[in-house]
Amino acid sequence: MPYATKAQIERARQPDLLTFLRQYKPDELIPNGPGTYKLRSHDSLKISNGKWCWWSHDKMGGVNALEYLIKVENMKFPDAVQLVNEQCGFFDAREVQSAPVKQKETPKAEFLLPVRFQNNKRVTAYLLSRGIDIAVLDYCFQHGLLYEAADYHNAVFVGYDDKTPRYATLRGTLSGSSFKRDVTGSNKRFCFSITGQEGGKLNVFECAIDALSYLTQVKMQGADWRQETVLSLGGVYQSRPNETPKVPTALQGYLERHTDVQEIVLRLDNDAVGRGAASAISQAISDLPVSVELPAEGKDYNEWLMRQKGISPRQRARNELER
């Protein structure tokens, strides 16, 4: 374990989170208003007036970067101190020579799936209220792609590296809840996906619920939804001006593992960010045909599905309570 001197600890407490991330992970910062930022990997974490607050985690917050690394990134105190010192130019080689420090890479947070609840009733009621077909849900439950967490009864969508879970994202199931985040340590190269029996066409969505909504729509049309292949990107971001278009990590990882993909259909949200992401991805991929099919109604495929089924937000809430 790294050794930290008192001087290093004091220096590590100085940088605020915004200053630190501009040096350490500038791509994490997304402008969210005058002098305010949110994080790409934790969109409910806001930075403003020199402070940060993680709204989806009981308003957990702090001031400096050291607190963020320990509370949010789950780093051990000595590792966090060393990282802040290195990234902010405080690193003193003379201190390292006199300390029993063994050089190593910055540790990555361990990935652990949330504990399963004894049944999936709450998650089932929630997703049925959003119009998802029960056959699609049952398939996901049976194949370990979806389950209900024991602690807060969140829906857990799981992504795999072959048969090994490598990614999971949570979605709150309480009425009116907007809670959503990736499980710590998740690898977005293995985002939630379902590979159909005809894997040549890859349908790409911003989130897992939109992917399941599309499969429900296919079933409603009388077609075999099990033929379809779907991938969630786990969110998209708005490219900066003059930024070179990039293939999202989730899509890049899927294409590397599934070389039989022959075409890509981007079914992202019909808003400024979704349309921008679809345009950027289309430009970034040159070796496969890419088309864009945004939802015909509503912002995303789930809103479109709910309109097709005549489910209003008020009716959805009532359906949840009745189940």
**What pLDDT, in 10s, does the model give residues 121-165?**
999 999 999 999 999 999 999 999 999 999 889 999 999 999 999
Assess contact for 251 and 277: CB atoms under 8 A.
Answer: no
Q: Which helix (H) or strand (E) element contains residue 199?
A: none
CATH of domain 121-322: 3.40.1360.10
CA within 13 Å, CB half, 51: 8
Quick: pLDDT tens for 264-282.
999 999 999 899 999 999 9
Q: Does the pLDDT of residue 248 top 80, yes or no? A: yes
pLDDT of residue 193: 97
- DSSP H helical ranges for the chain: 6-12, 17-24, 65-71, 77-87, 93-97, 121-129, 134-142, 208-220, 249-257, 272-284, 301-308, 313-322
Assign 95 a pLDDT band (cuts: 50, 70, 90).
very low
Q: How many residues does the chain have?
A: 323
- Angstrom CA distances, 121 to 98, 118, 173, 291, 304, stand at 58, 9, 11, 37, 25
pLDDT of residue 257: 95
Q: Does the pLDDT of residue 207 top 70, yes or no? A: yes
Quick: pLDDT tens for 156-191.
999 999 999 999 999 999 877 778 888 988 999 999
pLDDT of residue 92: 46
- In the chain, list all ranges with CATH 3.40.1360.10: 121-322
Top pLDDT among 204 and 317 is at 204
Backbone angles phi, psi at 290, to 5 degrees: -125, 130
- Give the span between the Cα atoms of 45 and 40, in whole angstroms: 9
pLDDT of residue 73: 81
Task: Name the class of domain 6-97.
Answer: alpha beta
To the question of pTM greater than 0.75 for the whole model, the response is no
- Give the span between the Cα atoms of 43 and 62, in whole angstroms: 16
pLDDT of residue 84: 78
- In the chain, list all ranges with CATH 3.90.580.10: 6-97
pLDDT of residue 129: 95
Quick: pLDDT tens for 46-72.
888 778 888 767 667 888 888 888 888
pLDDT of residue 322: 47
Most confident of the ranges 79-83, 103-107, 188-192 = 188-192
